[in-house]
Amino acid sequence: MIEINIREAKTQFSNLLSRVETRHESFRICRNGKPVAELVPIKNQTVDSTVQHAELRGIRFLEDPTAPLAPDDWPEDRE
């Protein structure tokens, strides 16, 4: 965990928050060398599946991929 003083935390807050969010870094904020707060990433945060799988948006299936196959769709048995 990176220790920073209150003044630095105040002037760099937006940058620190970005680092917590993107790099999962943690910061301990100190006053006169004594810790008073921590800025840490939230653990086990769920991600909305529409955001998580945005690249799949717009895909359409021509047929139901879970429907059972007809006997004619199966390859012949090979012995």
How do residues 15-72 score in pLDDT, each as one tens digit?
A: 999 999 899 999 999 999 999 999 999 886 665 655 666 677 777 878 888 888 888 8
| Predicted confidence (pLDDT) at residue 78 exceeds the cutoff of 60 | no
| Predicted confidence (pLDDT) at residue 7 exceeds the cutoff of 80 | yes
Q: Output the pTM of the full model.
A: 0.54
In the chain, where are the structural domains located? 1-41
Pick the CATH number of 1-41 from 3.40.720.10, 3.10.560.10, 3.40.50.1000, 3.40.1620.10: 3.40.1620.10
| 8 Å CB contact between 54 and 28 | no
| 8 Å CB contact between 41 and 24 | yes
More confident residue, 4 or 42: 4
State the pLDDT at residue 77: 67
- Residue 27, classed as helix, strand or coil, is strand
